Amino acid sequence: MAKSTGELTGVYIREHTKKKERNKKKKKQTEVVLLGSILPVLLFILWEFLSRQGVFPAYQLPAPSAVFSAILDMAATGALWEHISITVYRVFAGFLFGTIAAVLLGSLVGFYQKAEHIFDPIIQAFRSIPSLAWVPLFILWMGIGESSKITMIAVGVFFPVYLNLVSGILGVDRKLIEVGKMYKLTPLQQVRRIILPASLPSFFVGVRSGLGLGWMFVVAAELMGASQGLGYLLVLGQNTLSPETIIASIILFAFIGKSTDWLLKILEARSLYWQDRFAKT
Amino acid sequence: MSLTLRNVSRTFAGASAVRNISLSVQPGEIVGLLGTSGCGKSTILRAISGLDDGYEGEIEINGNTAKEVHDTTGFIFQEPRLLPWLTVLDNVIFGLKGEHADKQKRAKEYIADVGLEGKEKLYPRQLSGGMAQRVAIARALVTSPEILLLDEPFSALDAFTKMQLQDLLLDVWKTYQSTVVLVTHDIDEATYLCDRIVILRGQPGEIDREITLTEQRPRKRGSEELARYKADILESLNLDRARSIT
């Protein structure tokens, strides 16, 4: 009886300390968010102030309040969501195809030296072509619709993911491979139990920079010819001489791009919890 | 269980590393390969393990002379070489086959044997060097290898941890009666642990002489007998002369 009460208090205390730790963690997180917002908030205030003072002419740099009211106007008509969702869809689809292609080819090249000899030279050659140079060709082949845009984004995403995955696989510590050999792992087991987890950090570096490039390329694709999307808003703003639309689009790009990268970062931290790093997320 | 090397030689890119090594190890014996760096100690050990199959000559393990990794050998490297994405428990389980529950039970026993009970859920980054090497020892022992190969396993540790782990090695050796081949450049370690010390010299390395230690275990570190062996070994390594040359 006495023992069980002791255990119960033990459990209670543990729960309690856990809660305390969680609270501490939350506190730290809010602190990080607060610190990070100091500069943007100050910048916005300064910008608003200077705009009202008439330092920036409104036809060149409208005040943040004007930009936000432009965003709110679009939100009210529902146009904003259509622009955002079509752009996010393009980035996501291109990112998905580009990553899948990169994983397939990258694994092949990483694991089989013959495949490396066959594929790597031509991939390296293609890499040195600035990806935007493909745009006219893709439009010629696939028209101005979604497929040419998504293909373009996929091409942009492909290279960083591919390159980082290959270098991750080729860079797996020989010493760990030897541990696998000592336990007589089959080649497939070597891949699954040692090479894949060991190359995961490098893969994530590739995926994150691939996503960044995806966002860059969606702008290019939508500038070329689109009737919807955040990139189209840039063209629209230029043609209708409304800088607030352009700035609204830029801000939305920054915000959504950062959010997707943040999601990937969380995924990365979850998968790489075992890493011994200076910066802990 | 037996281990025999016959005329084993190894050349790397034309340069001979070891030449004509013949050695026979008795079951349950602890044999130390001792020599200055570059004399091919680790090369011999890697050939025995099967990690290196580019040698000439013959290595016979239980009558099997195939140049491959044998199920009956375990290897403890100079570094722990733990897989950083696995916990202590999963690292120890790594080389085991069979039912998961059995594997876990067995691994836990060995983790307790090396004195790491309660640390099963930690990741390698949370371990000190000595703890990590203990995990590596548990991982090598858990498959019950008949032959245990150790490549300077304690050389990266501080003096106290080193002594602790040497005693740990003797404990598990007593319990499991494995045959041990230990590569070391630490003469004190060799005299404390080994039944027989094989001294390698030269480049390419050749067996210079063998010393059999009859001293009963537990031996006393720093005892007169061990000191005498040490003096003997130092003399045959001829380090004094080497120093006067440089």
d(CA B154, CA B165) in angstroms, rounded, equals 8
> pLDDT for A85-110, tens place per residue?
999 999 999 999 999 999 999 988 98
Distance (Å) from the alpha carbon of B69 to chain A's nearest alpha carbon: 6
Of A175, A181, A197, the CB nearest to B85: A197
The number of beta carbons lying within 10 Å of the beta carbon of residue A226 is 22
CATH number of the domain enclosing A227: 1.10.3720.10
Check CB contact under 8 Å for B125 and A274.
yes
Of A1-10, A196-205, A261-270, least confident by mean pLDDT is A1-10
Phi, psi at A203, each rounded to 5°: -60, -45
In a domain, residue A4? The reply is: no
* Element housing B73 (H / E): strand B73-76
Residue B236 has pLDDT above 90, yes or no: no
A66 and A33 housed in the same domain: no
A141 and A226 housed in the same domain: yes
> Residues of A near B (CB-CB distance < 8 A)?
175-176, 178-179, 181-184, 193-194, 197-198, 200, 273-276
Asked if B198 contacts B13 with a C-beta cutoff of 8 angstroms, the reply is: no
Distance (Å) from the alpha carbon of A120 to chain B's nearest alpha carbon: 28
Burial class (CB in 10 A: 0-12, 13-18, 19+), A30: exposed
> pLDDT for B83-109, tens place per residue?
999 999 999 999 898 899 999 999 999
What was the pLDDT predicted at B216?
A: 87
Check CB contact under 8 Å for A274 and B49.
no
> With bands split at pLDDT 50, 70 and 90, how would you rate the model's confidence at A11?
low
- Please tell me the total number of residues recorded for chain A in this structure: 281
Whether chain A has a CB inside 8 Å of the CB on B66: the answer is no
What was the pLDDT predicted at A18?
A: 66
Closest B-chain CA to A174? B81
Q: Which B residues, 161 through 190, put their C-beta within 8 Å of a C-beta on chain A?
A: none
Of A181, A274, A276, the CB nearest to B51: A181
Domain span holding position A156: 60-279
Average pLDDT (B32-61) is 91
> What percentage of chain A reaches a pLDDT higher than 90?
53
A49 and A126 housed in the same domain: no
d(CA A168, CA A205) in angstroms, rounded, equals 10
d(CA B222, CA B159) in angstroms, rounded, equals 14
Structure tokens at B8: 């084993």
Of A18-32, A45-59, B170-184, least confident by mean pLDDT is A18-32
Residue B243 has pLDDT above 80, yes or no: no
What was the pLDDT predicted at B88?
A: 95
In order, the DSSP letters of B193-239 are H-SEEEEEETTTBEEEEEEE--PPSSPPTT-HHHHHHHHHHHHHHTH
SS3 B14: coil
A94 and A227 housed in the same domain: yes
SS3 B7: strand
- The residue among B71, B83, B92 with the most chain A CBs within 10 A of its CB, best to mutate, is B83
d(CA A141, CA A135) in angstroms, rounded, equals 10
In a domain, residue A112? The reply is: yes
What was the pLDDT predicted at A279?
A: 60
Helices (H), chain B: 41-49, 88-93, 100-113, 129-141, 159-176, 187-193, 224-237, 239-245
Angle among Cα A202, A203, A205 to the nearest 5 degrees reads 65
In a domain, residue A243? The reply is: yes
Name the average pLDDT for chain A: 87
Tell me the whole-structure pTM to 2 decimals: 0.79
Q: Which residues of B touch A176 (CB under 8 A)?
A: 81, 83
Name the average pLDDT for chain B: 89
Residue A183 has pLDDT above 70, yes or no: yes
* Element housing B74 (H / E): strand B73-76
d(CA B134, CA B138) in angstroms, rounded, equals 6
Structure tokens at B246: 């440089």
Q: Which residues of B touch A280 (CB under 8 A)?
A: none
Q: Into how many domains does chain A fold?
A: 2
A121 and A259 housed in the same domain: yes
What was the pLDDT predicted at A214?
A: 94
A148 and A274 housed in the same domain: yes
Place of tokens 């995403």: A157
A72 and A29 housed in the same domain: no
In a domain, residue A14? The reply is: no
In a domain, residue A3? The reply is: no
A130 and A160 housed in the same domain: yes
